[in-house]
Amino acid sequence: MPSSSSESPAGELRLVCRCIGVSSLRIEEAIRSQGLSRLDQVQDAVQAGTGCGTCHPEIEELLSEGRGESVSNGVRAQNRAVCRAETERHIEGSLYSRILPELSAGTRIELVWVEGLRVELRVTPPLDPALRQTIAAKLRKFICPDLEVTWLE
C-alpha cells in the first residue's frame, strides 16, 4: 500500500475507475509523468474511464488538480459520495458472487467499512491466515491492485 506521503492532493487515495480497477494514485502518476491534460489521454494511458463513464467527473477533478486549478468543495463532495457508494457496491458484488461461493459452507463474509482504498472485512468462523491472504489477493485482482484489506476479529 502506498504511504501517506504519496497520497493525492485531496489527501486521500481512492478507487476512481471501478470498471477497470484504477486508483487515484495510478491516474495522478500518469498525469504527472506523462503531462496528461484531457480525459481521452487518461483513458489511453491507464484505461480509466473506458467502461461505464461514472468516474469521468473524478478523472476531470484529478486533471484539474494536475493543472493546479481549484476544485469546488461541492464537486469534490459529490465525487467522493459517488466513489464511496460505487466502490462499496463493487466490493460487495465481488465478495458475495465471486469469493464467498468458493469458501466452506457456513462461512460468512461481512464488509465492515470502506475508506478510500482500505477495506475491512469480518469473516466467521475465523479463517486461517493463508485463506485470508487468498481472499485479499482475489479482491485486489477483482477490484484494484492498490486495495488494502484488513480483518476485524
Q: What residues does each domain of the chain span?
A: 4-79, 87-151
pLDDT at 126: 87
Number of CB atoms found within 10 A of residue 75's CB: 15
In this prediction, residue 11 carries a pLDDT of 52
10-residue stretch averages of pLDDT, the chain, 153 residues long: 40 89 96 97 97 96 94 95 94 95 91 94 91 95 95 88
5 CB neighbour count, 10 Å cutoff: 5
Fold of 87-151: GMP Synthetase; Chain A, domain 3 (3.30.300)
> What's the topology of domain 4-79?
Arc Repressor Mutant, subunit A (1.10.10)
The domains spanning 4-79 and 87-151 adopt the same CATH topology: no
Predicted TM-score (pTM) of the model is 0.84
Each residue's pLDDT tens digit, 78-110 = 999 999 999 999 999 999 999 999 998 999 999
Write phi, then psi, for 125 (nearest 5 degrees): -65, 165
